[in-house]
Amino acid sequence: MSTSSAAILGCAGTVLSAEEASFFRDVRPWGFILFKRNIDTPDQVRKLTAALRETVGRPDAPILIDQEGGRVARLGAPHWGKYPPGRAYGELVANDPLHAREITRLGARLIAHDLTSLGINVDCVPVLDVPDPKGHEIIGDRAYGDTPQQVATLGRAAAEGLLAGGVLPIIKHIPGHGRAMADSHLELPVVKAKLAELDERDFAPFRVLSDMPMAMTAHVVYTAIDRRRPATTSKKAIKQVIRGSLGFDGLLMSDDLSMKALSGDFKQRAKDSLSAGCDVVLHCNGDMDEMKAVMAGVGKMSKEARRRAQAVMGRLVKVPEPFDHAEARARFDAAFDGRYAG
């Protein structure tokens, strides 16, 4: 079987078009990502995930989703339960830090149960960004707390809940988006903090969770590291910080290439990300012309990327942790006094 291309791609709707199926068979991306536009009913999602995997001939091909809870949730009513934003878990700490950690893990375990029933095996969680009071609200309540310690502790609890349920976590947005004064979906944030400040606060949770299988980069310029390039396309940021001082040796993926923080055409964005040290690039919106341009800049996965990808898939448990869904959901809802029930 031929080696996968160094890309994760989206699709346009709730079923694969003939053009999409043919394209995916041809370019063989390593994985796929789903958004709300791809979600209708449980049966429909199961058919879509099966169809995506059929195009690349791998029954365990990674299929990603952003199911954080709060305002970042691709699955919702009437078929799936509600989950709080990260901040809500952090607010439980005031009463009992151990309880907060337990409920954070439980929430992620419940999400894993939802995802595995649909054929989704990767969640773009946990958010390990530590928000700055003056930073842009794009992170905001998605963060578990305001301190590196709180974010790292609850981030690990969430990652462990996903792993126990047969879903791979992705730590994001490495090495830290919380201090950014702009939304990288719309423009390029530039962070001018000193390296020591970044290392102590922003980077700290990523060092604690450097053993996780996957990480997603931040489209953020840190002038203390590289004055011109965001971490996604910066050899300095990836080699010296992400692979170096943070010690992350898992699979490194770019954030979405279609975000306006990046410059250049899609072929160049893909080439720049991979040459900087990303293992795979992510393109989310399912636009065929954009995907063709991205794939013009993407080759097969490198030897190191293949090694990491193999290690990633080795972290998927064969049998999820024993789990009583009804009891777990009742306990979860009680922890939040029913605010997310229904």
- Among all residues, which ones are annotated catalytic? 185, 255
265: phi then psi, degrees, rounded to nearest 5:
-75, 175
Tokens of 131: 């928000």
CA angle centred on 294, ends 8 and 72, rounded to 5°: 45
Helix (H) or strand (E) holding 228: none
Tokens of 191: 């962070």
CB within 8 A of 239, min separation 6: which ones? 277
d(CA 243, CA 207): 10
Tokens of 94: 């005031």
Give the E-state strand segments of the chain in sequence order: 5-9, 29-34, 63-65, 67-69, 72-73, 122-123, 168-174, 190-191, 214-217, 221-222, 251-256, 280-283
d(CA 115, CA 311): 21
Q: Is 95 exposed, middle or buried (0-12, 13-18, 19+ CB in 10 A)?
A: exposed
Closest of 294, 227, 273, 272 to residue 33, by C-alpha: 294
Relative to beta strand 190-191, strand 168-174 is unpaired
3-state class percentages of the chain: helix first, strand second, coil last, to nearest 5: 45, 15, 45
The residue to which tokens 């969640």 are assigned: 123
